[in-house]
Chain A
Amino acid sequence: MAEFLHMGGYAFYVWTSFGLTALLLIGLLVWASMGHKRELSRISRRLRREKGSV
């Protein structure tokens, strides 16, 4: 395990690469999902408002 983490002396370069990539890909996915959910709730809020005012 320690040998695996050591990456033959390239630990910093390998793990920074994989860590940064994971961070960016997960962040983008979460951001995209939040955008979709935000639109949905914005529209249902508006619909409720319109119903209330009728």
Chain B
Amino acid sequence: MNFFVKWFHRLGSPPWFYRVSGKLIPWFTLACVALMAYGLYGGLVLAPADYQQGDSFRIIYIHVPAAILSMFVYVVMAVAGAISLIWRMKMADIVLISSAPIGAIFTAIALATGSLWGKPMWGTWWTWDERLTSELLLLFLYLGIIALHNAVEDRQSAGRAVAVLSLVGVVNIPIIHYSVVWWNTLHQGATIMRLDGPAIDESMRWPLFAMIGAFYLYYFIVLMIRARGEILNRESRSRWVRELAGGA
């Protein structure tokens, strides 16, 4: 418990975050590139064409990771929002607002690639079913959070406002996730997260897992870079930043 409290305190310290993230980014990048290289090669070249969908199924290698991350990033933001409201932790505010554009991009990719897959497979670019509509709502939540943060002049009030909005919007996440179960949507059900095991052959599964891993790493890399910029912006008058900028 003591260890956890200590770690939590450190994580809340911008200079510590700045220093450690600077060391982590190169390693994360290396791992991300390696996973993505294997995932792309395995998904585009090694995996056989699907017996029903032909080669169009290969779009899942970016659609599924993007969709998973679009929800994961939002959950991270909601947790950061709760931490920010309860403990007034500076780093939580920074993580929340730094994540928003990344989540928006993942959501846009999930929607666009879903559309590009839907056209040849379903015969339509778009349909207002529950899965697609709730994912579109997620995109608007991200854009709303970014706009709200830009609109409020005072930084503390802006932080509090987006923390509340991200917490309120989190009800949408289980709706997206369970939409394919609760409603009879056009979107197919779960393939990987099933009680009876993944319903996808190994030759197709491992490249997909690699791509999901690569997308998680990509999120953490860009989050760290964005947070570092945000930390410098907020702490520009502090001693350690002056030393950093003056010495470098």
Residues of A within 8 A of B (CB): 4, 7-10, 13-14, 16-18, 20-21, 24-25, 28-29, 32-33, 35-36, 38-40, 42-44, 46-47
Contact = CB atoms under 8 A, between A and B. Distances in A.
B112 A17 contact: yes
Contacts, number: 91
Interface string B90-128: 000000000001100100110011001101100000000
B112 A44 contact: no
Contacts of A46: 236
A28 B101 contact: yes
Contact of B109 (A8, A20, A36): A20
10 contacts: A7-B55, A9-B54, A13-B117, A18-B62, A20-B112, A21-B62, A21-B66, A24-B109, A29-B218, A38-B229
Contacts of A16: 116
B174 interface: no
Interface stretch (B153-161, B176-184, B200-208, B239-247): B239-247
B31 interface: no
B228 interface: yes
Contact of B105 (A18, A25, A47): A25
A11 B183 CA distance: 32
Interface in B40-91: 44-45, 49, 54-56, 58-59, 62-63, 66
B225 interface: yes
Contacts of B112: 17, 20
Given A10-B120, A13-B117, A35-B229, A28 B105 contact: yes
Interface of B: 44-45, 49, 54-56, 58-59, 62-63, 66, 101-102, 105, 108-109, 112-113, 116-117, 119-120, 218, 221-222, 225-226, 228-229, 232-233, 236, 241-242, 244-246, 248
B117 A32 contact: no
Contacts of A21: 62, 66, 109, 113
B212 to A, nearest CB: 14
Given A7-B58, A17-B112, A40-B248, 4 more contacts: A17-B62, A24-B108, A44-B245, A44-B246
B155 to A, nearest CB: 15
Nearest to A48: B246
A28 B59 CA distance: 21
A39 B120 contact: no
